[in-house]
Every structure is written in structure tokens, then in C-alpha cells.
Amino acid sequence: MGPSLGAAISLAAAGGSQVHVFATMTLFALGAAASLLSAGYVQGRLTGSGRTTAGQTAQIGRTLLGVSFVLVGLAILTGNDKIAEARIAEAMPDCLVLFAT
């Protein structure tokens, strides 16, 4: 979206007349809206038949998220998070460590 919006703005700014600018930005907006609407329609059609599967997947996801929260909480309480952080920092390239700290 970013580069195409930048191109539309540049093209509109180079146009000169307000009608040309309005037409360029309107066509850009209609194109962006059409692509989003069509993607939403296709996604709705694809997932319409799989609602029960989505519900089951969501339940599994919530359970896994809850378990991961408990594990992270236990790691923080026991201090194992610092050990894991140190091991990850040792495995990272120096440039990433310098960038992240």
C-alpha cells in the first residue's frame, strides 16, 4: 500500500489541476477498496464452511496460549527467563545484540 500510495500522491501532485488530482486519488481509493473487498469476500467464502473447524482451532489456540502464559510466568518467578535470555544473546550475532541493546 505504501509505495502505491506514494506514487498516487506524486502523480496527483504533478497533475496541476484540482480535477486531475481528485480523479487520481479517487481512482486510487476505488482500486484499494476493491482489492480489500474482494479479499474479504474470498476469505469469507473460504472460511464459511469451516466455522466448526475454526471454533475447534480457536479452543486449541486458547489452551496453548494459556499454557504458554503459565510457563512464562513460572520462568520469570524462578529466574529461568534470565538464563534463557543469556543463552539467546550468546547465540545471536554481535551486530544484533548491539542493535537490540
Residues 24 and 3 reside in one and the same domain: yes
Q: How many domains does the chain have?
A: 2
Domain that includes residue 97, residue range = 52-101
Which three cell numbers, joined as nine digits, stand for 51? 466455522
Distance between CA 67 and CA 60 in Å, rounded? Answer: 11
As a dihedral over the C-alpha atoms of residue 82, residue 87, residue 90, residue 92, rounded to 10 degrees, the angle is: -100
Q: In this structure, how many other beta carbons lie within 10 angstroms of the beta carbon of residue 70?
A: 10
Looking at 49, 65, 83, the residue that finishes a domain is 49
Looking at 30, 49, 68, the residue that finishes a domain is 49
Looking up cell 476469505 gives: 43
Q: State percent of the chain over pLDDT 90.
A: 24
Residue range 4-34, pLDDT digits in tens: 677 777 777 776 777 877 777 888 888 889 9
Looking at residue 40, what is its pLDDT?
Answer: 86
Residues 67 and 96 reside in one and the same domain: yes
Residues 45 and 61 reside in one and the same domain: no
Q: How confident is the model at residue 52 (pLDDT cuts 50, 70, 90)?
A: low
Residues 45 and 78 reside in one and the same domain: no
Residues 73 and 35 reside in one and the same domain: no
Residue range 65-75, pLDDT digits in tens: 999 999 999 99
Cβ–Cβ under 8 Å, residues 17 and 25 = no
Which three cell numbers, joined as nine digits, stand for 65? 496460549
